[in-house]
Every structure is written in structure tokens, then in C-alpha cells.
Amino acid sequence: MLAIKRQAVASASRILLRPHILATLAAASSRAYHSKLCKSSDEAIEGIKSGDRLLIGGFGLCGIPENLLKAIARRKDIQQLTAVSNNAGTSDYGLGTLLQSRQIKRMMSSYVGENKEFARQYLGGELEVELVPQGTLAERVRCGGAGIPGFYTLTGVGTQVETGGIPIKYAKGSSEIEIPSEPRESKIFNGRKYIMEEGITGDFALVKAWKGDELGNLVFKYAANNFNGPMATAGKITVAEVEEIVPVGELKPDEIHIQGIHVHRVLKGEQYEKRIEKLTLRHTGSDEQQLSSGMKQRIHIIKRAAREFKNGMYVNLGIGMPVLASNYIDPGITVHLQSENGILGMGPFPTPDEVDADLVNAGKESVTVLPGGTCFSSDVSFGMIRGNRLDMTILGGMQVSQSGDLSNWVVPGKIIKGMGGAMDLVAAPNSRVVVTMTHNAKDGSPKILKENTLPLTGTKCVDRIITDKCVFDVVPGRGLLLRELSYGNTVDEIKAMTGCAFEVASDVAETF
């Protein structure tokens, strides 16, 4: 140690004796940087032209580059765009405004959601929509940014993603498919079939960050990382709008999420609304008494689903009904909830004082993060999922077959939600899949069938079905086994309202 100190003193002495070295160091500490700052959003989008492919960050309305999108909407000369984004915001905000102005020719997305204008244009044959599983979309963009032309995945095997035929464009005024999706190339690895997906790059990437400097280094806040992270790396020109410009050097090297080498232009956004698509607040027990009968039914199902949690589990909750389970975890156990938009350690819905526009779940609802929780990008999130890090996934369903096939993303020609992350979640081979849904559709028809009639989300992937009437297990090679009854229901009644035969456990009883 003494020798090291002597060496350091000697080196310092040599520097002090050489003034030109001191001058060089001083110049380096105050050097002029090649600034990437733009004065306005109009300047930031210069060069975008009709026919370009734009990679657009955000998830719902969380973390969207709202000022850049407004600037494009003002440029009516920019037409026929291809927009790559997880979804398209709402009908009147975010990417949805470019749909309203008819500036988009094709969307590449995983989820249509509740954007009625998006759905209307697609089903009416006015818009091309290439639906891609959410994790596949994130990985395709990540690979594009990393110079990887393609990769193989389990996601979509056995579905129309593999075989092709998903409508990209309908004929106007008709249910006829004008442009179908292409089948995927497949290959066997370790005895399992995988399908190939190609990397995605864009002419421009438009992303939103919390903080940035004039070198283009970016930091995201909470769940606003989402698709912004991978999108930022995959554009020929990446434009980042930020809430705050900080001096170069203020961001610590190990806290920077996106390095400036990926970013070509930086804009301090002129104005932020930061809308929350679904402001959702925590309910107390007394609040539940005021809920509608439909919501009470959903809570009845999800309270039973919450019993599936075991201490120490890592669990993903799908959008809709499953997300409610976060409010009914036994306080005596620890469950790590993962949301595919980039949260691990997700907590319950917030109180009014806890609401943050940068903290939403996969259903675009406001949430909290528990102490020890973390946030990350969408590609990292689905790496956890594909890598079998989750113990269990709870999803909603439209139909489940007696062999465990799941359908939950589309009613052709009528309802188009998109597959979101469900295909990725059910393809993870070691993750237990629990489906929560009402036992019957609104017209009384069964949702549990011998064979699904709707397009599949996954094949032989469901382990347990929890409905408002009962609990079924899917037993490989045998079919369904009735395990539990909801209070007031009998085995004969379950047989009458179920669309396939099933076995009955010897100890079946009313339990919830």
C-alpha cells in the first residue's frame, strides 16, 4: 500500500512539473460538446417524410413522445406512414391523433385495446394493422437495434402467428381479408418447435425520457421506460424528447438508461399533459358494497384466484380482471408481481396522493411499486417471461378447451383487442397458467368447450380455470377435473352450463 501511495505522489509531481499537461486536463474538463439539442419539436422532426417507418415509444399514454407526435400531426404533408408502436394511444390523444388525421397507412402493434377509432379503421378496411405479440415486438425491435436480423421463439407456435392468415387489411366494407399475415418459418430445438421472427428498424425513432443531456444520454422514470428503451436503439435517426435537460456530467454513468451514441436529436418538450389512460384508485371493503353486480362478480372470481399465490412467488397478472388480484394478496405472504410493461414488485392501485402518470400496469391503470420493486424496459420484461423466471401467470379468457387451449384476443370481424403479451406469457414452458373468466358468455353460451371456435392464444397451455361457478384443473391426457364449487352451485348445474365432459374430484366441495 505504501508503494502505491509513493507511486501516486511521484506521478502527481511529474504532472505539476509539466504545465502543458495541466492545460490539457483543464480543457478536457470544460470542453465544448457537440450539442444535439433542438429548439422546437418542429425542428426535431425535420426530415420525416411520407412513407417513412416510425418507431414510437410509450405504452398506452405512459411515456409517449407527445410533443413530437403533435408536431407530425401539424404536418399534413407527411402521409402514408408505418407506425411501429405497442398500441396507438386513445382516439383523441397520442398516436391516435395521427390515425384521426389519416397520416398512418400501417400500424405494427400488439394491442388495439379501447381505441375505437383504431378498431373502426382496421375493421372497415381503411388501415393496415400487423398484429404482433408484445414480447415478440419488443424483441424484434431490440434485435433490429443490435444488428441481429432474426431470432427463434416459442411465442405463437400453434396459432395463426405461425400458420399465417391474421388479417392485416380487410377489403373496404367487407369482412373479406385483402392482406393476410404470412406464415412463419419454424425449426426444432431440443425437441420443441420454434418460429422465426425478423428484427425491426425504422427510419426515425421517436422516444420520450424523463431527463437527458445535450449528448443524448437518457434516463427514464418508472414504467415510462417500456418500449422507449428498445425503440431508441433501432432508429436510423433517434429523436428523444425529455422533460428536463441537465448539464453534461450530472447524470451518473451507471444511471444512464440509453447512451448518447443511439440518440441524434434531443428536445425539451414544450408542454406535457401526461394523461393517465385509466386512473384507477384503491377500493376499501366499504367501497366494494357500492360496486355494480358485474364488478362484484369479477371480484368474487379474483378473490378465489388470489388463493393461488404462494409465499415468494413471481407472478404476472394479465390485463382486466386478473390485475384486481393485487388487491387481495394475503398480507402474511410475499408475492412479487410482474407487469409486462416493465415493473417487478407492483403494488396495489394508488390512493389519490400516490398517483403518478409514469406508473401504470399492463392494463394502463395507475398502480404503485412496493419497496424493493424495480422498473425496466419491455424487452427486459419479456426476457424474464421467456426465460422462465415467472412461477405463475393469471390471465383472462374468452374460451378454454378441455385440453387447455386458450383463446382471449379476438372475435374475427367483430372484436379486436390484439394479443398483447398473452401469447408470450402462455408460451413460457415452466410457468403455471391460471385463467379467470365468467363461466358463460352474456348470451348464456359456454366458454369452456371441447374445442375452441375462436383463434388461439396458445395450445395446451392452461393449468387451471377459475370461474364464478367453479374451479377446473386441466389434466394432461385426460381433460378437465372439477376441483371446487362456488357457493350455491351443484355438480349437475356445472355439467349443464359447460360445453364439454369432465371428471369430478372425489373431494369436490363448495369453497368460495
Q: Does an H or E element contain 12, and which?
A: helix 2-16
Count CA atoms within 13 Å of residue 174 on its CB side. 8
CA 429, CA 300: separation in Å to the nearest integer? 29
Q: What is the DSSP string of 359-391?
A: -B-TTSBB--EEEEEEE-BHHHHHHHHHTT--S
Q: Is the dihedral of CA 185, 188, 194, 199 positive or negative?
A: negative
Alpha carbon 230 to chain centroid distance?
12
DSSP 5: H
Which residues fall within 8 angstroms of residue 493, CB to CB, at 6 or more apart? 469
Whether residue 382 contacts residue 421, with contact meaning beta carbons closer than 8 Å, is answered with yes
Residue numbers annotated as active site: 340
CA 63, CA 446: separation in Å to the nearest integer? 40
Strands 432-436, 464-466: pairing is parallel
Residue 89 DSSP SS3: coil
CA 208, CA 69: separation in Å to the nearest integer? 11
Q: How far is CA 156 from CA 135, 230, 474, in A?
A: 11, 21, 21
Q: Helix 19-29 to helix 2-16 angle, to the nearest 10 degrees?
A: 90
Nearest alpha-carbon partner for 181 in 203, 197, 202: 197
SS (H, E, C) 276-302: CCECCCCCCHHHHCCCCHHHHHHHHHH
Q: How far apart are the first and last CA of the chain?
A: 69
Q: Tell me the sheet residues that pair with 109.
A: 131
Residue 274 DSSP SS3: coil
> Reduced to 3 DSSP states, what percent helix, strand and coil does the chain have, rounded to the nearest 5?
25, 30, 45
CA 63, CA 401: separation in Å to the nearest integer? 38
Residue 261 DSSP SS3: helix
Q: Is the dihedral of CA 275, 277, 281, 287 positive or negative?
A: positive
